[in-house]
Amino acid sequence: MAKKIKNAIPVVIIAIVLAAAFARFDFLPSIGDPDAPAHTRTSDYYIEHAVKDTNSPNYVTAVIVDYRAFDTMLETTVMFLAGLGVVILLASRPDPKARIIKPRKFTENREHLGAPAYQSINKDVMIKIIEPLILIYAVYVLFHGEVSLGGGFQAGALIGMVYIIDTMVSPGTISLIRLPKERSVALAGAGTFIYTLTGILTLVGGGVFLEYGKLPFSMSFEEKHSTGILMVEVGVTIGVMATIITILNAIHERARFDDDK
């Protein structure tokens, strides 16, 4: 009986909080109202002047990479630091008694990953057909981020997913490209460095930090904005891709597939 009361306390507290919040929901604006306070300050300026200032018809890309480029730089730094944290946490040599799970004993006939049936699926379908298509799509999304939907984050995550497919599918779980976790975290740092380098170039050209109109190239104003956005998005792509590869390699090394030899 005491256990039932102890289990019911979180439910009661949460029900009280929910009822109190529901009674006071009238201070929130109704959804879809065009005069809500969220629409009246700076969003109208961003929508009306985006194409003139930044030469990019996609308003979301214009906001995150041009008007608020400082936030995206610090977000790339956070991704790099997350990868660094994972590498530091899992850097020690694992205890052999604690790590290996006991391989199960199968009594029937089992195909292991190097058998010819698996090899034809891996080589003919995944590596020859699916991975190049995903890579081409990722490069398209990166370069068209400012005209249609897309951008740096999506392209980086797609390239990271290609690496994951490659690792999972190869027999013996050794991928085509050897990237241990220390090298890929350095690659993530390179992505952050490319982003900051664009900002320093604009300082050299005589403008404020990350003001693409003052890059020291000899182009017109719109082309400078497009080039600046492209360089910055390449930095974001490399950062996100390398962090995904780092976390995968770090977690993967500790979980050995012992019964697949």
Partner 1 sequence: MHSLILEAILLMALIAITLVVIFDKDLLAAVVTYCAFSFITMFLYIVMGAPDVAFTEAVIGVISTIYFVISLRNIDRRCK
Partner 2 sequence: MTNNMSGISVFLADKGIYFLTAFLLVLGIYGMITCKNYMKKLICMNIMQVAVIFFFLCFGQKNGGTIPVQVTGLMGARHYINPLPHGLMLTAIVVSLGTTGVGLALLTRIKEKYGSIEEDDIIKGENKF
For partner 1, the binding residues (CB under 8 A) are 31-32, 60, 99, 101, 149-151, 153-154, 157-158, 160-161, 164, 168, 244, 247-248, 251-252, 254-255, 257
What's the rounded Cα separation, in Å, for the pair 224 and 152?
Answer: 18
Residues 201-240 close enough to bind partner 2 by CB under 8 A: 240
Shortest distance, position 223 Cβ to partner 2, whole Å: 19
Shortest distance, position 119 Cβ to partner 1, whole Å: 22
Contact with partner 2 (CB under 8 A) among 1, 2, 5, 89:
89
Does the protein bind partner 2 through residue 168 (CB under 8 A)? no
Shortest distance, position 20 Cβ to partner 1, whole Å: 20
What's the rounded Cα separation, in Å, for the pair 148 and 223?
Answer: 17
Place of tokens 């400012």: 146
Contact with partner 2 (CB under 8 A) among 12, 99, 134, 208:
99
Neighbours of 3 (CB within 10 A): 7
What's the rounded Cα separation, in Å, for the pair 163 and 230?
Answer: 23
104 Cβ contact partners less than 8 Å away, ≥ 6 residues apart: 259
Q: Where are the alpha helices (DSSP H) in 126-213?
A: 131-143, 152-169, 181-204
Measured from the CB atom, is 42 or 120 closer to partner 2?
42
Does the protein bind partner 2 through residue 30 (CB under 8 A)? yes
Contact with partner 2 (CB under 8 A) among 151, 189, 228, 235:
151
- Which among 123-131, 136-144, 222-230, 242-250 is the span making contact with partner 2, rule CB under 8 A? 242-250
5 Cβ contact partners less than 8 Å away, ≥ 6 residues apart: none
| Angle ∠(68,69,72) on CA atoms, nearest 5 | 105
Does the protein bind partner 2 through residue 58 (CB under 8 A)? yes
Choose the contact partner of 108 out of partner 1, partner 2, none; CB within 5 to 8 A by kind. Answer: none
What's the rounded Cα separation, in Å, for the pair 175 and 136?
Answer: 20
Number of residues that make up the chain: 261
- Can you read off the two tokens belonging to residue 213? 């109109």
Does the protein bind partner 2 through residue 5 (CB under 8 A)? no
* Residue 140: burial class (beta carbons within 10 Å; 0-12, 13-18, 19+): middle
Residue 200, H or E segment: helix 181-204
Choose the contact partner of 89 out of partner 1, partner 2, none; CB within 5 to 8 A by kind. Answer: partner 2
- Phi and psi torsions of 31, nearest 5°: -70, 135
Residues forming the site for partner 2 (CB under 8 A): 7, 10-11, 14, 17-18, 21-22, 25-26, 28-34, 36, 38-39, 42-44, 46-48, 50-51, 57-60, 62-64, 68, 71-72, 75, 78-79, 81-83, 85-86, 89-90, 94-95, 98-99, 148-149, 151, 153, 157, 240, 243-244, 247, 250-251, 254
